[in-house]
Amino acid sequence: MSSLRLTVNGGEHVLDVPVGTSLAHVLRAELGLTGTKIACNEGHCGACTVQIDGVPRLSCITLAHTVEGEVTTIEGLREHPLVDAFVRADAVQCGYCTPGQVVSAAALVAANPQPTREEIRHAMAGNICRCGTYPKIEEAILSWQG
Amino acid sequence: MARLIRTEKEVEGRFEEVWIVVEEDPLEQWPEGPLAVVGRPAPRKDGYERVRGEARYTADINLPGMLHAAVLRSPHAHAKVQKIDLAPALGLPGVRAAIAAGEIPGLVEEAGFAGAPVAAVAADTFAQARAAVAAIEVEWEELEVVLDPDEAVQRGALTDEPRRYERGEVERALAGADVVVEGTYRTQTVLHNSLETHQAVCEWQGDTLHVYISTQYIWGIRQAVADALDLPEDKVRVVCEFMGGGFGSKNSPDEYTFVAAELAKRTGRPVRCALTRREENTSAGNRNATIQRLRAGARSDGTIVAFDGEFTNSVGWTGWNASTEGPMRMLYDCENVRTVTFGAKLNTPPMKAFRAPGFVEGTFGLECLVDELAARLDIDPLELRRRNYASSNDGTPFSSKNLEECYRRAEPHWERRHQVHARSDDVWKRGVGMASQIWYGGGGPPSYAWVRLGSDGRATVITAMQDIGTGTRTAMAQIAAEELGLPLEHVEVVLGDSARGPYASISAGSSTVPSMGPAVRAAAADAKRQVLEIAAQRHHLEERVLDIRDGKVVSADGNLSAPVEEVVGLLDEAQILGKGARGPNPTGMSVLTFGVHVVEVAVDVETGEVRVERVAAIHDVGRIVNPLGASSQVEGGVIQGIGHTLSEERLLDPETGNVLTTSLDAYRMPTIADVPEIICEFVDRPDEHLTNLGSKGLGEPPIVPIAAAIANAIRDATGADVHELPISREEMLRALREAEERAREKDKRGAPAAV
């Protein structure tokens, strides 16, 4: 066990977890933030995406003890206009990848509020959706400001 | 009155005769077209829970004291456990219990594929359980491995008797045909790779087993677990409120459920058993590979006179011999058809249903063959399909079929050929291809629903079904709202728990809406009838002049307009309870879904890269309940189909039978960057013979024709015949070389002899 100080969605946490624990595991098992999903647990699918200082990161392959910045999970983005946009556009089927999609999309629109289709495809290509909601995700991001 | 009938039940193209009790369902179908709620686009009832990460999946369940199980899997494709020693595992930190092959169903003493489960450990953490599993000592007796499907068929290593079908006289018809084409088509093994892996959490409370599981079939799990554990069915409670994808692979409990149940029993603590992504790729099922040796004969006027097909399904160690021959038997009006289908039993991971199993593969072969026929006959491919239109299913009438209308709507997309060709250049060749779709999707009984209407005028649909991500809650709420005359936001749907609602059908075989929808409508109608009876007595009117519209009980003369909450509010805390059951399918009719895809591709003839640029998907699945959700289903099916066609392939080590593609960087599924423009159209005509709803299922149809349509577009663009999936660059370049050689041969033959 090793002490860990983590800022998540604006809140400070001091935890004791073994060195080598992933950020995704800490968020889900220690902090109960289960909106962050683990689907491959090896950094290939994007379901576990969180932001660290506003940049999308794969929390399943990020060691918790290496995190220095502020972590934002889907729980910290629940009031983001993208949530409405995703629901309106039906950019959700089984929903397992969706929190990760929203986290990636929120980082994109924060940096680039009016992304083109090409920019959306570039920024979102790391988030796999097996149900194939991609056209609706693209539409949701294009129309996120309502 | 309850009526006992014998009826045919179909799931995923497999039929059985069953006895069912059906209650009278006197409801007339609603008129065609958008109604107040049904037929209008509705965002998901559970959209916010899912998008905000509040929806609780099996993977999110964390019960107090919960242990984690890991499974030991065979490293050999075929081997027997001679001796197994759990002691080294039991001595490790955190380990609470271990079980081995022979102790429970699901853990096997003879491993028939690499990845077969043989032992399991429960520990405080998953890492401890995995370490313990690695410490288990096994002595294996390695057995002969069979990986080649043709060899298996030759040796008689089959999953079941070869399935033979014949009508007419195929050889005579082929001998008399003006044109005969033949080809061998091969499709690869692909994996479901649902993002939530297969998993269950089991907990015993007294003598009742609570199973939280990612499943497509709550009631099937209840029955299978009760059978396996020798429990009465009502001592098994199955819960699945949200699940992260299944696509056909989550219809049964499998080893992880039995492991969790048994280890929970032994430890007295809840146990989670979840497959890792890598286990998902080796052990959780697949769409099996096929080999299709096909012939077709036609007269010069385009009449197809014969189809002949030999199909080999590489089923694997377990699974079933899906109907790869189905499209050849059913899609066209052809007098002479002969098929034989072999299920090869191999030392490879198990086949499981995957989105229209058999028909996806069979449609690729058949619809490519039909395009080869069109090319040889010099007849337009759309015209050839029309000339061989089937007006019955080998003599059995269709309950409804609007494929002709699909073809009509395909015309403007098909006519884009000339402008698409004109966009070709030296490197990128562009073309257009089409393929038709036929599949089941009629659903069936039994299925039940309850509707509860409170004194606040709000209704709740209660049924113990599952929403696998297709929008079931929304569609059921729309149907109940329509029947009850309530706004959609006044209807909730409670599902996902066998202890909290009546029996509901499997969510597989595109059956959820056609099976459950009519039961929900019947339950809502029962509740509505009671509301009108109360209103009639309260206001001294006849029931027949009353109706509910937009949340108000109204009389035909317009004198009464009382909010539902006012009528039901008379009862204080009392509730109106309606119940409904799914009626039978029409007897003596084939209930099938139809459609057509028109696809535009670009092929880089130097590198073999194929890009799908545009897909027009036109489907006939009866009444559309939610056009928004329906378009999502079509887009999802098309995209999954593009993966199947171009990039996805599970690879095995040909020596050992081990899966080589165990991660999502090796197994390449489509990303958002791979998606073409997709246009969805629905014929949206209720099937007048099918239930009180007239709806068929839509989950599977959109993946059926896409591979053939892409291959046919490639032929149109380049002249190359693609015969294998996936159409990798290697396969594309091979087909291009072959086409070039063919053209050279033709030139040589056509050139005047040298003097």
**Helical pair B359-377 and B706-718, crossing angle rounded to 10 deg:** 30
The answer to whether residue A130 neighbours chain B at the CB level (below 8 Å) is yes
Gap from A117 CA to chain B (nearest CA, Å): 10
**In the 8-state DSSP scheme, what is residue B549?**
E
Distances (CA, A) of B635 to B193, B348, B679: 18, 31, 8
| Chain A residues within 8 A of B277 when measuring between CB atoms | 39-42, 44
pLDDT digits (tens, 9 = 90+) for B401-460: 999 999 999 999 999 999 999 999 999 999 999 999 999 999 999 999 999 999 999 999
Q: Give pLDDT, residue B752.
A: 57
Contact (CB<8Å) A120/B51: no
Q: What is the pLDDT of residue A24?
A: 98
Which residues of chain B register pLDDT less than 50?
754-755
How many CB atoms are closer than 10 A to CB A63? 12
Best residue of A8, A40, A82, A102 to probe chain B, by most B CBs closer than 10 Å? A40
Residue B51 to residue A98, Cβ atoms within 8 A:
yes
Q: Do A42 and B639 touch (CB under 8 A)?
A: no
Per-residue pLDDT, averaged over A103-107, amounts to 98
In sequence order, what are the residues at sequence separation of 6 or more whose Cβ sits closer than 8 angstroms to the Cβ of residue B490? B457, B458, B459, B481, B551
For B635, which of A75, A127, A135 is closest by C-beta distance? A135
* ipTM exceeding cut-off 0.90 for this assembly: yes
Chain B CB within 8 Å of residue A122 CB: yes
Cα–Cα distance, A95 to B253 (Å, whole number): 22
Residues in B closer than 8 angstroms to A135, CB to CB, are: 635, 675, 678
For the record, the structure tokens of B652 come out as 């095995």
H helix intervals, B378-491: 381-387, 403-414, 417-422, 472-484
Instruction: Please give the Cα distance from A82 to A105 (Å, whole number).
Output: 8
Q: Could you tell me if B731 and B610 are in contact, meaning their C-beta atoms sit under 8 angstroms apart?
A: no
- What does the mean pLDDT of chain A come to? 97
Query: Looking at residue B510, what is its pLDDT?
Result: 93
- Asked whether the beta carbons of B437 and B704 are under 8 A apart, the reply is yes
A142 touches chain B (CB under 8 A): no
Chain B nearest C-alpha distance from A72 (Å): 13
pLDDT for res A8: 98
Contact A87 B195 (CB under 8 A): no
User: Residue-wise over B298-320: b if at least 16 C-beta within 10 A, else e?
Assistant: beeebbbbbbbbbbbbbbbbbbb
The predicted structure's pLDDT at residue B363 = 98
Q: Rounded to whole angstroms, how far apart are CA atoms B471 and B50?
A: 11
CA-CA distance, B404 to B498, in Å (whole number)?
42
B339: tokens are 């098929």
- Count, residues in chain A: 146
Percent of chain A with pLDDT over 70: 100
Segment B715-747, tens digit of pLDDT: 999 999 999 999 999 999 999 999 999 999 988
**Alpha carbon of B192 to those of B215, B343, B646, B710: distances in Å?**
14, 20, 15, 21
Q: Which residues of A touch B276 (CB under 8 A)?
A: 41
* Helix residue ranges per DSSP H, B491-620: 512-539, 564-569
Cα gap B236→B18, rounded to integer Å? 24
Instruction: Tell me the shortest Cα–Cα distance from A5 to chain B, in angstroms.
Output: 22
Min distance A105 CA to chain B CA atoms (Å): 12
Assess A138–B contact: CB distance below 8 Å, yes or no: yes
Q: Which residue of A has its CA nearest to B125?
A: A29
Q: Which residues of A touch B57 (CB under 8 A)?
A: 37, 96
Measure the CA–CA gap between B636 and B620, rounded to whole angstroms: 17
- Going by the DSSP 8-state scheme, the letter that residue B207 receives in this structure is T
Separation of alpha carbons B264 and B199, rounded Å: 14
By Cβ distance, the residue of A32, A96, A132 closest to B196 is A96
CA of B710, closest CA in chain A: separation in Å? 18
Yes or no, beta carbons of B636 and A29 under 8 Å apart: no
Both tokens assigned to B402: 């609007």
Between chains, do A41 and B277 touch, taking CB under 8 Å as contact?
yes
What is the SS3 string spanning B599-640? Answer: EEEEEECCCCCEEEEEEEEEEECECCCCHHHHHHHHHHHHHH
Residue B389 backbone dihedrals phi, psi, to 5 degrees: -65, 130
Q: Name the residue of chain A whose CA is nearest to B641's CA.
A: A132
Residues forming beta bridges with residue B168, ordered by sequence position: none
Kindly list the residues from chain B whose CB atom is less than 8 angstroms away from the CB atom of residue A132: 635-640, 670, 675
* A27 interaction partners in chain B (CB closer than 8 Å): none
User: The tokens of B106 are what?
Assistant: 């699901």
Instruction: Centre a 10 Å sphere on the Cβ of residue B30 and count the other Cβ atoms it contains.
Output: 19
The Cα–Cα gap between B513 and B696 comes to 7
pLDDT of residue B755: 44
Nearest to B51 among A83, A122, A130 (CB): A83
3-state secondary structure of B39: coil
Contact B53 A44 (CB under 8 A): no
Question: Residues 48..107 of A with a Cβ closer than 8 Å to B: which?
Answer: 73-75, 78, 83, 86-88, 90-99, 102
> How many angstroms separate the CA atoms of A86 and A106, rounded?
12
Put simply, whether A37 touches B (Cβ < 8 Å) is: yes
Q: State the nearest Cα–Cα gap between A79 and chain B, in angstroms.
A: 9
Give me the pLDDT at residue B1, please. Answer: 66
How many Cβ contacts (< 8 angstroms) between chains A and B?
164
- What pTM value is reported for the model? 0.97
Question: What is the set of active-site residues of B?
Answer: 700
Only one residue has tokens 């929304």, namely B474
Contact flag B469-A44 (C-beta cutoff 8 Å): no
